[in-house]
Structure 1
Amino acid sequence: MIGGRGERRARNHLGTMEGINALKVFKGPFEAKEFSTIVNMEGKKIVIRDFTTGKEPEPLPEGAIDIGRYNEMRPNMYVSDMYQDTEKQIEGYAGVRNIHMGLDIGGPAGTPVMSFADGKIQKFGYNPGKGDYGHVVIVQYKISDTNVWALYGHLSAKSVGYKYIGMPVKKGDVIGWYGVPGENGGWPPHVHFQLSFVEPQTHDLPGVVSLRDHKRSEIHFPDPRLVLGKLYPGEGLIVPKGLEIPERYRKESKKS
């Protein structure tokens, strides 16, 4: 669900912080805040997907909404070159990428997507690659004096119309709609929602990352449930059943 180029260091104090403890620090801006839902889920059956199995998911029941989890390793899903090319860099992230750093909310094409708070349009555009985001809108927010960017991906073509950089948006404003596969990167209709403490350089963020980049990605891209609420239980990296994480990555985790 990505494309993009270049690497940059965070311009704020996040860039000087190391280790996953930074996540605990940055939960602060979101606490005691009231955010708008980005998709109307009232009265809908919600299905929490498990993409760690590497198997094709069951069809979504009519009228239901499905949730794709944050921080989930997804084997067999990201098979195009953009995910398998170990040299390609997206905002400084490379390697074979299959750990999902956003949260997906699925439903019918044309479903409205709303801004969770007051902000302004920072980037928008079209990422045309197979398996990419398709049409994207990125909104910049100021949450308790902390800059936060949110990427809304896999949108329809009309979602990027009549927009301009710096355009103000209000909490609850419709900023786009779910796209069909022909305009959303080739995926079933859904929105990929991703938070970032690092300013995107284009209409892109690495929505999936490699295991080697995972620890810093947790710092750069916090859990979307800080905004969306506790849509499902659990925290930390979600891996396929029985998978042993290599020692070098577990050591990094312990250090942080």
Structure 2
Amino acid sequence: MTPLEEILHNIQDVKVIADSITLNQYITLDLSVYNTKLAQESLGNATDFEKYIERYLTENNSKVAYGGYNEERNLYKRSTIFKDDATEERNMHIGLDLWIKAGTPILVPLDGKIHSFNYNTGFGDYGPTIILEHQIENQIFYTLYGHLSLESLAGLNIDTVFKKGQCIGTLGDESVNGDYSPHLHFQIIKNIANYHGDYPGVCSKKDLPFYLENCPNPNLLLKIKPF
């Protein structure tokens, strides 16, 4: 592990979803190209996808479906922001998704301050997005929260401090979150370069080695399943 990964791995009692939901109420969700059952589902729009998520959670007696780090997906083929004639298709997901109802409060996992925020509009984009900056020991890194509600951006200011466990916002619905079933895209970023209020959450296979190195597995911090 890198020094940052060691630090993340050693941090305990971290949540981005309400403490009232215990980890035994989480269920893994496979949205990869290798899940042949997905091809049998009608998932072409956010409404159908949300029905699928709700049914999946009910069938598994769970409240949060999670997964997606380093996962190859067909989900992005419906949006032109992930493929144009000049670039390689971006279909490798490099954050962790947590699928739960719109309006769910999102918690800050670690003390940090607002680095930037933005309403990333467009079909398939993040929608309202917040990025926090953290420093632990000599390591500076960032966490990204995508697909939030518009209300989550109200009154925010750069450098405003948030404490671990504080609510940073709520999940948005398909009308603002890029036309997805409600979920949090949570991502850890080592070097954010010149990005503000945005950072790639999906990359091409060619660029995957760089992004996996720059964006450690969020489960190192969240510990939803043994790492």
TM-score (ref. length: structure 2): 0.83
> Equivalents in 2 of 1:189, 1:233: separation in Å?
25
Alignment check: 8 A CA contact 1:44 1:65 kept: no
> Equivalents in 2 of 1:76, 1:188: separation in Å?
12
> Equivalents in 1 of 2:200, 2:118: separation in Å?
15
> Equivalents in 1 of 2:134, 2:13: separation in Å?
12
Amino acid in structure 2 at the alignment position of 1:170: K
Structure 1 segment 238-249 matched on structure 2, within 5 A: none
Structure 1 residue matching 2:207: 3-state secondary structure: helix
Amino acid in structure 2 at the alignment position of 1:225: N
Match of 1:206 in 2: 200
Tell me how far 1:178 sits from its aligned partner: 0.6
Q: CA RMSD in A?
A: 2.0
Paired residues, number: 205
User: Structure 2: 5+ residue runs without aligned partners?
Assistant: 42-48
Question: Which of these residues, 144, 153, 159, is aligned with residue 160 of structure 1?
Answer: 153
Match of 2:4 in 1: 26
Structure 1 segment 5-84 matched on structure 2, within 5 A: 24-40=2-18, 41-42=21-22, 45-52=25-32, 53=35, 55=39, 56=41, 58=52, 59-62=55-58, 64-84=63-83
Structure 1 segment 62-211 matched on structure 2, within 5 A: 62=58, 64-85=63-84, 87=86, 95-199=88-192, 201-211=195-205
Tell me how far 1:29 sits from its aligned partner: 2.5
Structure 2 residue matching 1:27: 3-state secondary structure: helix
Tell me how far 1:152 sits from its aligned partner: 0.2
Distance 1:45 1:31, change over 3 A: closer
Amino acid in structure 2 at the alignment position of 1:30: L
User: Structure 1: 5+ residue runs without aligned partners?
Assistant: 1-22, 88-93, 235-256
Higher helix share: 2
Match of 1:224 in 2: 218
Alignment check: 8 A CA contact 1:35 1:171 kept: no
Structure 1, 44-53 or 212-221: larger mean CA deviation: 44-53
Tell me how far 1:107 sits from its aligned partner: 0.8
Tell me how far 1:144 sits from its aligned partner: 2.3
Match of 2:46 in 1: none
> Equivalents in 1 of 2:14, 2:216: separation in Å?
18
